[in-house]
Amino acid sequence: NGTSLEEITGIQQGMAWARGTASVMAMGVSTSTSAMQWFGIITALDAVPMKYWMANLRRGFEPGAWEQANEESGEIRNLTENFDRDVRLLADQAFGKSGFKGKRARFNQKLFLPMAYAQKMVNVATYFGAKEHAMAELGKSEEEARVYAEAIVRQTQSAGGAKDMAAIQRGGEGVSLAQAC
């Protein structure tokens, strides 16, 4: 009549695996999802003039630019850490943490790198563009410009907190699987 705890756990594990696979295919492997990260430009350009944003997009390709942004900006570090945490959590929940399953989870995490790099470029260009704009046109000191730039990043780019997560990331396994399909 009833379903045993082991069966429920097995069903939930299967649903987690299916959700993880669907998420990897829909987000990690998808070039369109990686390309969607560039739409962060739209919100950024509401706050940062195009000339500053574009100049700093080029800067994002320079060696050391990401490290400098991470060093200067707690908001940039937060965005990166939240993204990394969410991908790691999704992979660990879906595929496990040890043995072959753990290796598969680590492999699947790497499939999200194109999406992560695109978002990082948008974040870094937004941060440095806002900082440069604040110093050049708003007359702010370097420290005031850094604070201003962090506020612009926080207002224009998703932080990966619960309020910023898609329903697939917030719901239970059944809800998440249904939304992934």
Range with lowest mean pLDDT among 7-21, 77-91, 107-121, 157-171: 157-171
Q: Indicate yes or no: pTM above 0.95.
A: no
Distance between CA atoms of residues 173 and 22, nearest Å: 12
Average pLDDT over residues 82-87: 82
pLDDT at 53: 95
Q: Is 138 exposed, middle or buried (0-12, 13-18, 19+ CB in 10 A)?
A: exposed
Ranked by mean pLDDT, the top range of 22-26, 85-89, 95-99, 129-133 is 129-133
Q: How many helices, marked H, and strands, marked E, lie in the chain?
A: 11, 0
Asked if residues 116 and 83 have their Cβ atoms less than 8 Å apart, the reply is: yes
Distance between CA atoms of residues 20 and 71, nearest Å: 32
Q: Give alpha helix (H) positions in 37-112.
A: 40-44, 50-60, 65-72, 74-95, 99-110
